[in-house]
Amino acid sequence: MTTLHLDSLRLPSADLGPLNPLAPLVRSGDPHEGLPPEIDDPAMLERVGYGRLRSLMPYLTQDGYHRVRTDREQPTAVLENELLRATFLLGLGGRLWSLIHKPTGRELLYRNSVFQPGNLGLRNAWFAGGAEWNLGTTGHTALTCEPLHAVRVDDADGTPVLRLYEYERSRELLFSIDFSLPEGSAVLLAAVRITNPNADPVPLYWWSNIAVPEHDDVRVIAPANQAFHYAYDRGLHVIPVPEHGGRDVSYPATAPGAADWFFDCRAAGRPWIAALDGEGHGLVHVSTERLVGRKLFAWGNGVGGRNWQEFLCGPGERYLEIQGGAAATQFEHERLAAGETCSWVEAFGFAEADPQAVHGAWGDAQRAVERVAKELAPRALLENELAAAARRRDLPPTDVLHRGSGWGALEERRRELAGEPALASPGTPFIAETLGPEQAVWMELLATGELPVADPDEAPRSYVVGEGWRRPLESAGDDWNSWMHRGLARWHAGDRDGAYAATARSVELQPTAWSLRNLAAMERAAGRADRAAEHFLAARKHAPELRPLLIETLVALIEAGSAGEALEIIDALDARERVVRRVRMIELRAALASGELERAAALLEGHLVAELVPDDLQEGEDSLFALWTEFHALRGTDPVPALPAELDFRMG
């Protein structure tokens, strides 16, 4: 018998903290930017060059978290039958947090013992563990730390289905996932559906990222004999698998550093991937053909990889990820035509295979796992589930389990007034009750044609961009707030000159921290460091307590050659701000840029050297290594001592 019920999970959790109110005009620190792919495939190269987002607007950055954890209740939904129990974190992107094989009691996923955000997501905050649903663009979804809408839908025979859905704002797409565990099923079924409700094509990116425990004897197997290999600073290369560089890359525990292996499964027919231990036991992931990509990610054996895992999970923790995607690699975007819907089914189950075959020759291992995949999730099962999901897609929910955001309801209202097709269906309703303070200002714009009067000292709650909002924003009033939002919409549309003119008009009408900062960010993006620093300083006079603005200002001053002025600002901070880890690292950078080696030495050689590691250290960020190297170069140290282990977060 299949059951679906609500529950909660008590988990040591760091607070996500406040949203950063500063509009993210430029996407920062994308480790895949400028990637030189070594691919002899014109169609793939076209997909690599297509669809990359230059900013994360209209989303706000989630960078207000810290590393102090307290026990918190996380709302969950639990779907189970006789063989499997699946637990989902409804307030955190619908993450599949746990999948237990009940006959053996085995946890098939890596279930993190803490909720600790780190800067690995598109909006900064991301957390490790479970299976994550990534829609949008290269990286971890903007919704990974957001609530999703969750409802119960009953299948034709009355079996409960858990449906998660939301409106993804960066691509303006509607997505839903129907999770099903029919009676007696040995696999959890996930029917994914993505719809482009727009009048133009939209880039499509999807990857299901599945964390599993890493042990020395775990082997990752997929139906491929070559892979696209990415190791952060070495480009994208085609390599043979499993043997490459003198080792068997299918054993992640032997990886020297963090890397991705995108298995080339395009000729395999039905794609799958599995992570199996020395006894031939573990998780297998199978799908219909539309989800063509399969990937292995491992942190590797370097000090940096171990530090990252402890940073995200705690001492001694090890995990790897097996993944499935809509393209062969995560550097590509497919094209989803206007009005088009794409869908597929994924299956997750407990694999038991002959251990001698699993750990024998590559071909033997592939055949052994493929047999298990066919037994657990035969093609007919997945195709039938795909058809069943299509039949029930418009069935209204029998119960509402959890509310997501109000952005879908706002978009529904905008479309209604513009005479555009509805966003949702009866099966994925966006109701007016979900509208909240973040949407209130935009509801007034739609209702009256004007933005409400805004307090210049109050940070904006939210932003809207995209073609559907350009007309109402351009028609709004001649006030500072309307011009500020008009400038952001123009920037998002690629009209840089128009964006600057609108933002300058906002400042002319009413100097505010928000418009002055936006001018500064635009100047910085154009490479005008002096003017950027000037505007950042002006902005900070209006919001001196805003930490994200402080950090941007300090960086801009250093870039403009005014590191001494940055140090003066740091010296004037109160004790609470002085010890912020990101501020301490910037202080080190400014000290080096100013030639204040004694000050730099006090930071690098003191007993609190680990306090230089920012709470939001970014994936792939090598700032600490660069500063360490610069310090010793200025000192004339030869040879340069090894980077202290507690500062080493290098991915390679």
Summarised one tens digit per residue, pLDDT across range 415-442 is 999 999 999 899 999 999 999 999 999 9
pLDDT digits (tens, 9 = 90+) for 42-99: 888 889 889 988 889 999 999 999 999 999 999 999 999 999 999 999 999 999 999 9
- pLDDT score at 397: 97
pLDDT at 501: 98
On average, the pLDDT of the chain sits at 95
Query: pTM for the complete prediction?
Result: 0.97
Q: How far is CA 108 from CA 45, 142, 214, 351, in A?
A: 36, 26, 12, 10
Of the chain, the percentage scoring pLDDT greater than 90 comes to: 91
Decide if 133 is inside a domain: yes
Q: What is the pLDDT of residues 363-395, one digit of tens each?
A: 999 999 999 999 999 999 999 999 999 999 999
Tell me whether residue 537 is in a domain. Answer: no
Contact by Cβ (8 Å): 487, 502: yes
End-to-end CA distance of the chain: 48
The C-alpha atoms of residue 497 and residue 523 are separated, in whole angstroms, by 11
Q: Which of 184, 214, 169, 208 is nearest to 286 (CA)?
A: 208
Task: Calculate mean pLDDT across residues 560-565.
Answer: 98
**Position 553 pLDDT exceeds 70:** yes
User: Mapping DSSP to helix (H, G, I), strand (E, B) and coil, where does residue 111 land?
Assistant: coil
pLDDT per residue as tens digits for the range 125-160? 999 999 999 999 999 999 999 999 999 999 989 999
At 127, give phi and psi (nearest 5°). Answer: -135, 155
* pLDDT greater than 60 at residue 225: yes
Residues 121, 144: Cα–Cα separation, whole Å: 8
- Nearest CA to 585 out of 525, 647, 652, 632 is that of 647
Ramachandran region, residue 314 (left: φ > 0; alpha: ψ -120 to 50; beta: rest):
left
Residue 345 included in any domain: yes
489 found inside a domain: no
Task: Note down the domain range covering 356.
Answer: 3-146+198-392
Which domain-ending residue is among 392, 412, 432?
A: 392
Q: What is the pLDDT, as a whole number, of residue 30?
A: 63
Q: Are 213 and 318 in contact (CB under 8 A)?
A: yes
Kindly state the DSSP code that residue 296 receives in the 8-state scheme.
E
Give the mean model confidence (pLDDT) for residues 551-576.
97
Across the range 208-235, mean pLDDT stands at 93
Count of positions (residues) in the chain: 652
Question: Residue 88: enclosing H or E segment and its boundaries?
Answer: strand 84-89
The answer to whether residue 434 sits within a structural domain is: no
Residue 31: is its pLDDT beyond 80? no
What's the structural domain count of the chain? 2
Which domain-ending residue is among 342, 360, 392?
392
pLDDT digits (tens, 9 = 90+) for 567-625: 999 999 999 999 999 999 999 999 999 999 999 999 998 767 889 999 999 998 999 99
- Answer yes or no: is 95 within a domain: yes
pLDDT, tens digit, 9 for 90 and up, residues 531-540: 999 999 999 9
For 212, the token pair is 């599993």
Question: Is the predicted pLDDT of residue 34 greater than 60, yes or no?
Answer: no
Please write the tens of the pLDDT for every residue from 275-333.
999 999 999 999 999 999 999 999 999 999 999 999 999 999 999 999 999 999 999 99
Q: Is 461 among the domain residues? A: no
The angle subtended at Cα 22 by Cα 19 and Cα 28, nearest 5°, is 95
DSSP for 354-378? Answer: -HHHHTS-HHHHHHHHHHHHHHHS-
Residue 651 pLDDT > 80 = yes
Q: What is residue 373's predicted lDDT score, i.e. its pLDDT? A: 97
Domain end point (choices 343, 359, 392): 392
Domain-embedded: residue 459: no
Residue 135, domain CATH? 2.70.98
Cα–Cα distance for residue pair 544/462, rounded to 1 Å: 21
